[in-house]
Structure 1
């Protein structure tokens, strides 16, 4: 692979080992993500003598914290593939994308995702993979119960009640545990016309729409015992997905990689957009995970070489294929959209252009997201207080924002 490179970084042509920390995407908890990156690293090293890549992979529950601790200890990785970048960019720790990626690779990134990687109109975060979220339902359980896919919150409630009567373990799995509570939270906010921020980017975490959504979850889905044996605040995404793949879940909010996991176990999956109170929600949630290069070791030139290699179509499509995720480059997306082998992913690709992403460009987002993970599960408990807790999270978000 021949690439044009910008000459950044202080290192010369001596041997360099890049420290690369990545998130684990294996839904089964295996080592397939590490195998993928080690394969990319081996192929890269064969073409780039003098540059080694040392790969470490951490569970999503831990990876953001692990990188934060490395940075705090003065031992930042050269490359991190994690959930947020803006706080590091604001601290001046990251290379601008212009200093890393060649112009052809930059131009090939999907524009809405590339723009979401900006802080102060300068791009620091490189989208890695994307996904959108849809409401998944077990077709077999729905057929047995004579149910149609839900088109409103009332439809979710009535379907969940029917599934519960038939002994389904999790009529509606609601993972508000720490693994990815910020995602489940945002989906329900969006379904009621709310969200984390307003149109100008101000936090609106305790908006009436958001409070109403969590009042409904607390009083209806959880209050009527329609969410299964594990309290939502203690249920993480990974075990919820595993339960779905085991045929124990009637409905949950899922992303593309769950398709493959369910297919392996023979579960027939139906998918519809998560409905709102009276019909289709105004927006679905989109997620992009982020790649970034840290300045600390001065390896910008070598980082750029590796990332250009990692973002070629062969690598991008291999990773997207492996986990049923959406590619972030124009060329790979076009390939996927034209290939009938990826037909199951077309609804997710279609939803991506109109989806709402986390407010990742806000330097406060990483801390706010962690706070949501810690607190939101308590909102839907019997003694939960959606108004009070969302208000507290919102005030803390505003304080964090103002302190940046």
Structure 2
């Protein structure tokens, strides 16, 4: 999920789906071509994307069908894989020396460092390059070379159940840590429902770490150096742990995912949680009677308001059949305005290209606000090769910290050492 911009699909049975994904990953099509200029030879593109929702696979299937109709000399093999096993699936492909030509995910720099990726500037047409919002692009560069192009983006905010807030007399979402604690306590005492939903599962823990790192005045890095075990970050995790110990979060932060907690909020059993702006599309669809509101992520008193941005990016692996001309045509097709606009609206994302962003922002005040906010957002340090190892190391630390098996300082010291060792 990695985490992705989003993982809105319900959890599937892991083992059979993993076997299916690996089987699919091993399937190849005969006659993979490399040249578009020969009438009897087809170019071949293998294409892997995560399932954001039940709408994702049909959308990409239709996209591939339309593309192959327009370019009959280019064959596209599509796999849409659940976020929960996406990493395992594409790592299996890479280990078999059968990487996808295009992968949509949220980590890439370790692949770039290992020389596995095609530079994106060799694939992007001038027209596509010109319409990508520039504030996304720095995190797509490793060692000065761009290896990704952003596709799906969100910002994270506090979402809350308006009916619960109104019933207990809370006027609006909390803006500070103190307000967060006080509101969660008021909801718990008055309604006997959970005040604040926290996801420290292996789907989303790095997001919640980020919220409380940045809201304390810290972050993953400082002045270009890893700073995971900074005093500010330790303070942020200590505060989160105290909320849990006081019973002001949901009782199972390391078990129930953000998607499950969104449904609990929709059912009136949870006051608030931090989520992405896709909440605004997905949750009201499931709970049409829900009255919801949103606000910024609460920060420690005295800190600046926090906007966290998340993006999923395309990367292109070097393969034995890489055809840059075909890949360029396919990327242009993916980002055609009408088609990309449909994807953004279906999945509840923020556009990464100016042509679609301008149109949607003119017609939707919320979208315009999201587009404004993401320009000032903090992002995960995906441009650093060590980020993949750091992210993976966070997956099982939630329970250890909450149950006292490790102190926040010990846990963050460990992450810092992993970051430094993988940066060599």
Aligned-partner SS, 1:233:
coil
Partners in 1 of 2:344 and 2:177 — Cα distance? 32
Tell whether the 8 Å contact from 1:191 to 1:284 is kept in structure 2 after alignment.
no
Tell whether the 8 Å contact from 1:262 to 1:268 is kept in structure 2 after alignment.
no
Is 2:44 the partner of 1:17? Answer: yes
Corresponding residue of 1:175: 199
* Shift in Å, 1:370: 1.1
Corresponding residue of 2:7: none
Q: After superposition, where does 1:255-404 map in structure 2 within 5 Å? A: 255-264=276-285, 265=287, 266-278=289-301, 281-296=304-319, 297-340=321-364, 343-402=365-424
Aligned-partner SS, 1:127:
strand
* Shift in Å, 1:166: 3.0
Partners in 2 of 1:284 and 1:145 — Cα distance? 27
Q: After superposition, where does 1:83-162 map in structure 2 within 5 Å? A: 83-148=106-171, 149-162=173-186
* Shift in Å, 1:384: 4.3
Which deviations, in whole Å up to 9, do the C-alpha atoms of 1:81-121 show, x marking residues without a partner?
A: 01111111111111111111101101110101122211111
Partners in 2 of 1:130 and 1:153 — Cα distance? 26
Which deviations, in whole Å up to 9, do the C-alpha atoms of 1:209-266 show, x marking residues without a partner?
A: 10001111111x1011122232x12232221222223332211111111112222202
* Shift in Å, 1:203: 1.0
Partners in 1 of 2:82 and 2:263 — Cα distance? 16
Is 2:279 the partner of 1:248? Answer: no
Partners in 2 of 1:234 and 1:12 — Cα distance? 49
Structure 2: gaps spanning 5 or more residues: 1-31
TM-score (norm 2): 0.87
Is 2:183 the partner of 1:191? Answer: no
Is 2:256 the partner of 1:235? Answer: yes
Q: After superposition, where does 1:35-54 map in structure 2 within 5 Å? A: 35-54=58-77
Partners in 2 of 1:282 and 1:228 — Cα distance? 25
Farther-moved stretch of structure 1 (385-394 vs 374-383):
374-383
Partners in 2 of 1:82 and 1:335 — Cα distance? 26
Farther-moved stretch of structure 1 (295-304 vs 274-283):
274-283
* Shift in Å, 1:70: 1.2
Partners in 2 of 1:198 and 1:374 — Cα distance? 25
Aligned-partner SS, 2:293:
strand
Closer/same/farther in 2, CA of residues 377 and 323 from structure 1, 3 Å limit: farther
* RMSD (Å) for aligned C-alpha atoms: 1.7
Aligned-partner SS, 1:347:
helix
TM-score (norm 1): 0.91
Tell whether the 8 Å contact from 1:223 to 1:382 is kept in structure 2 after alignment.
no
* Shift in Å, 1:142: 0.3
How many pairs align? 385
Partners in 2 of 1:377 and 1:198 — Cα distance? 27
Is 2:81 the partner of 1:58? Answer: yes
Corresponding residue of 1:213: 236
Which deviations, in whole Å up to 9, do the C-alpha atoms of 1:334-386 show, x marking residues without a partner?
A: 1121013xx33333222101101111111111121111123244322344410
Partners in 1 of 2:158 and 2:302 — Cα distance? 13
Partners in 2 of 1:314 and 1:195 — Cα distance? 37
